[in-house]
Amino acid sequence: MAAPHAMRGYRNGFGDRVLFVAVLLLAAIWIAPIVWVVGLSFKPNDVLMRSTGGIVFPPFTLKNYADILAASSVFHWMLNSAIVAIGQTILTLLIASLAGYGFARTNFPGKRMLFVLVLAALAVPEQAIIVPLHTMFAVVDLHNTYAALIAPRLAFPFGVLLMTQYFRAISPEIEEAALLDSASRFKVFWRIVLPLSIPAQATLGIYTFLHGWNDYFWPLVSATKPEMYTLTVGLAAMQTNFAQTEGIGFLMAQAVFAGLPVMILYLFFQRYIVSAVAGAPAK
Amino acid sequence: MLKRTFLGLAGGLLASVALCAPQAWAQAKTEITFARFFGACEGDYGTSQDVAKARGECGVMTTLTNLFNATNKDNILVKPQIIEWGPYYQQFNARMAAHDIPTIAVMHSAQLGDYVRYVEPMDDALKEAGIDTADFTPNARAAVTVGGKIYAMPWDTHSWLWHINLGMFKKAGLLDAGGQPILPKTVDEMIAQAKAVREKTGKPYIVMATSGPGDAANSGRSYYSWMYDQNATIFPNGFEKADFKTPESLATLKAFEALAKADAITKGLDSGGGLGGFLNGAGAIYLTGTWRIDDMLAAEAKPDSPLHEGYAARVFPNLFKTQSVWTDNHTWVLPKGTPAPQHKAALVFLKFLWDHNFDWARGGGHLPARQSLMAEYAKLPQRQYVVDIPTFGKALPHEARRQFGFQNMIGEEVVNIINSGKTAEQAADAMQERSVALLRGR
Amino acid sequence: MSGAASSGIGRPSWANLLFVLPYMLVLAVLLIAPVGLGMWLSFQDYDMLGGWAGGVGFENFTNLLNDRIFLGTVRNTVIFVVLTTPAFIVIGLFLALSLNDRTRRSSALRSIFFGASVLSVTIVTLVWRLVYLPDRGLLADTLAIVGLHGLDPVVSETYALPAIAVVTVWWIIGLPMTLFLAALQQIPAEIYEAAALDRTSRWRTLLFITLPSIRRTVVMVAVLEIILQFQLFGQALLITGGGPNNRSRPMVQFIYEAGFRDLQLGFAAAASQILFALMLLAALAQMWLGRRQDGAS
Amino acid sequence: MSGLSLKNVSKHFGMLEVIHDLSLDIADGEFAVFLGPSGCGKSTLLRMVAGLEPLSGGEIHIGGKRIDALAPGDRGVAMVFQHYALYPHMTVRQNVAFGLRNIGTKSDEIARKIAAAAGTLEIAHLLDRKPAQLSGGQRQRVAIARAIVKQPDIFLFDEPLSNLDAALRSRTRIELARLHHRLRATMVFVTHDQVEAMTMATRIVVMNQGRIEQVGAPMEIYLQPATRFVASFIGSPAMNFLAATPTGDANGRIMVRLADGTTVATAIPAAALPASGPFTLGVRAEHVLPGAGSPARVDVVERLGERTLVHALANDGSTIVYDEPGDVAPAIGDHIQLTIDPAHVHLFDAAGRAYHADRIA
Residues B131 and B76 in one domain: yes
Domain C78-245, what architecture? Answer: Orthogonal Bundle (1.10)
Q: Is D337 helix (H, G, I), strand (E, B) or coil?
A: strand
By mean pLDDT, which of A199-213, B155-169, D2-16, D26-40 is the weakest?
Answer: A199-213
User: Is A283 a domain residue?
Assistant: no
Residues D71 and D105 in one domain: yes
User: Is A278 a domain residue?
Assistant: no
> Order of strands, edge to edge, in the sheet holding D319-325?
D319-325, D307-314, D288-303, D335-340
Mutation target to probe the A interface, by most A beta carbons within 10 A, among D89, D114, D139, D158 is D89
Amino acid present at A117: L
Please provide the average confidence, as pLDDT, over all residues in chain B. 88
Residues B70 and B213 in one domain: no
CB A280 within 8 A of CB A202: no
Cβ contacts of C208 within 8 Å, gap of 6 or more? C200
Within an 8 Å CB–CB cutoff, is residue C155 touching chain A? no
Percentage with pLDDT > 70 across chain B: 93
What is the predicted pLDDT for the residue at A52?
65
DSSP annotation of B335: B
How does strand D346-348 pair with strand D354-355?
A: antiparallel
User: Is A251 a domain residue?
Assistant: no
Domain spans of chain C? 78-245
Within an 8 Å CB–CB cutoff, is residue A190 touching chain B? no
C49/B210 CB distance under 8 A: no
Question: Is pLDDT above 70 for B183?
Answer: yes
Within an 8 Å CB–CB cutoff, is residue A192 touching chain D? yes
Nearest CA in chain A to B84: A237
Residues A216 and A111 in one domain: yes
Section B362-367 average pLDDT: 86
Q: What is the CA radius of gyration of chain C?
A: 23
* Residue D255: alpha-carbon gap to chain centroid: 32
Within an 8 Å CB–CB cutoff, is residue A86 touching chain B? yes
What is the predicted pLDDT for the residue at B342?
92
User: Which domain, by its residues, includes A49?
Assistant: 3-62
Among the candidates A203, A221, A238, a domain finishes at A238
Which residue in A173, A174, A181 is closest to D99 by CB distance?
Answer: A181
Question: Is pLDDT above 80 for B199?
Answer: yes
A50/B84 CB distance under 8 A: no
Instruction: Please provide residue A181's backbone torsions phi and psi, each rounded to the nearest 5 degrees.
Output: -85, 20
| Residues 28-67 in C contacting A (C-alpha not used; CB under 8 Å) | 29-35, 37-38, 41, 46
Residues D201 and D285 in one domain: no
Residues D194 and D247 in one domain: no
User: Is D232 a domain residue?
Assistant: no
C275/A128 CB distance under 8 A: yes
As a whole number of angstroms, the distance between CA B262 and CA B269 comes to: 17
User: Is A270 a domain residue?
Assistant: no
User: Is D234 a domain residue?
Assistant: no
Residue-wise pLDDT for D46-102, tens only, equals: 999 998 888 899 999 998 899 988 888 889 999 999 888 899 889 999 999 999 999
Amino acid present at C232: L
> Order of strands, edge to edge, in the sheet holding D31-35?
D77-80, D154-158, D186-191, D31-35, D203-208, D211-216
Integer distance in angstroms from the first to the last C-alpha of chain A? Answer: 17
Neighbours of chain A (3+ CB pairs under 8 A): B, C, D
Residues A41 and A88 in one domain: no
Section D246-271 average pLDDT: 86
What is the predicted pLDDT for the residue at B107?
96
The domain spanning residue B432 has which CATH number? 3.40.190.10
The domain spanning residue D214 has which CATH number? 3.40.50.300
Helix or strand (DSSP H, E) at A222: helix A217-222
User: Is D15 a domain residue?
Assistant: yes
Residues B179 and B207 in one domain: yes
Section D244-256 average pLDDT: 87
The CA-based angle A36-A39-A40, given to 5 degrees, is 90
A176/D74 CB distance under 8 A: no
Residues B335 and B427 in one domain: no
Within an 8 Å CB–CB cutoff, is residue C4 touching chain D? no
The domain spanning residue A120 has which CATH number? 1.10.3720.10
CB D66 within 8 A of CB D225: no
A171/D83 CB distance under 8 A: yes
Minimum distance, in Å, between the CA of residue C254 and any CA atom of chain A: 11
C9/D54 CB distance under 8 A: no
Residue A12 pLDDT class (50, 70, 90 cuts): low
Within an 8 Å CB–CB cutoff, is residue C134 touching chain A? no
Strand partners, D11: D19
Section B160-181 average pLDDT: 94
Residues A42 and A84 in one domain: no
Nearest CA among B381, B57, B305, B213 for reference residue A46: B305
Residue B16 pLDDT class (50, 70, 90 cuts): very low
User: Which domain, by its residues, includes D58?
Assistant: 4-226
What is the predicted pLDDT for the residue at A51?
66
Among A25-39, C133-147, D84-98, top mean pLDDT goes to D84-98
Residue-wise pLDDT for D301-318, tens only, equals: 998 888 899 999 988 888
User: Is B24 a domain residue?
Assistant: no
Nearest CA in chain A to C214: A282
Residues A163 and A211 in one domain: yes
Residue-wise pLDDT for C2-33, tens only, equals: 333 344 666 678 888 999 999 999 999 999 99
| Number of domains within chain B | 2
Question: Is pLDDT above 50 for D16?
Answer: yes
Residue-wise pLDDT for D157-215, tens only, equals: 999 998 888 888 888 899 898 889 988 889 999 999 999 999 999 999 999 999 999 99
User: Is B376 a domain residue?
Assistant: no
CB B392 within 8 A of CB B159: no
Residues D251 and D222 in one domain: no
Residues D220 and D247 in one domain: no
Nearest CA in chain A to D96: A181
Residues B192 and B234 in one domain: yes
Residues B430 and B314 in one domain: yes
B40/A221 CB distance under 8 A: no
User: Which domain, by its residues, includes B128?
Assistant: 29-154+330-368
The domain spanning residue D252 has which CATH number? 2.40.50.140
Nearest CA in chain D to A174: D85
Residues A82 and A188 in one domain: yes
A134/B97 CB distance under 8 A: yes
Residue-wise pLDDT for A211-231, tens only, equals: 888 888 899 888 887 788 888
pTM for this model (two decimals): 0.78
Burial tier of D299 (Cβ tally within 10 Å: 0-12, 13-18, 19+) = middle
| Number of domains within chain A | 2
Helix or strand (DSSP H, E) at B171: helix B166-171
Residues B314 and B355 in one domain: no
User: Is B402 a domain residue?
Assistant: yes
A198/B272 CB distance under 8 A: no
User: Is D34 a domain residue?
Assistant: yes
How many CB pairs below 8 Å do chains B and C form together? 107
Residue B137 pLDDT class (50, 70, 90 cuts): very high
How many CB pairs below 8 Å do chains A and D form together? 64
Among the candidates D226, D256, D288, a domain finishes at D226
Residue B442 pLDDT class (50, 70, 90 cuts): low
A67/B86 CB distance under 8 A: no
Query: What CA–CA distances, in Å, run from A144 to A134, B6, D30?
Result: 11, 26, 70
Please provide the average confidence, as pLDDT, over all residues in chain C. 84
Within an 8 Å CB–CB cutoff, is residue C38 touching chain B? no
How does strand B325-328 pair with strand B393-394?
A: parallel
Among A208-212, B243-247, C215-219, top mean pLDDT goes to B243-247
Residues A163 and A107 in one domain: yes
Helix or strand (DSSP H, E) at B410: helix B403-420
Residue-wise pLDDT for A62-84, tens only, equals: 888 887 776 567 788 889 999 99
CB B35 within 8 A of CB B83: yes
User: Is A67 a domain residue?
Assistant: no
Residues A124 and A12 in one domain: no
Considering only CB atoms, which chain C residues are within 8 Å of B419?
155-156, 243-245
Residues A201 and A95 in one domain: yes
Residues D306 and D220 in one domain: no
Question: Is pLDDT above 70 for C294?
Answer: no
DSSP calls for C78-132? HHHHHHHHHHHHHHHHHHHHHT-S--HHHHHHHHHHHHGGGS-HHHHHHHHHHHH
Considering only CB atoms, which chain C residues are within 8 Å of D54?
11-12
Considering only CB atoms, which chain B residues are within 8 Å of C47?
441-442
For helices A248-279 and A231-238, give the axis angle rounded to 10 degrees. 150
How does strand D253-258 pair with strand D77-80?
A: unpaired
Which residue in A179, A180, A192 is closest to D87 by CB distance?
Answer: A192
What is the predicted pLDDT for the residue at B195?
95
Percentage with pLDDT > 90 across chain C: 33
Residues D159 and D281 in one domain: no
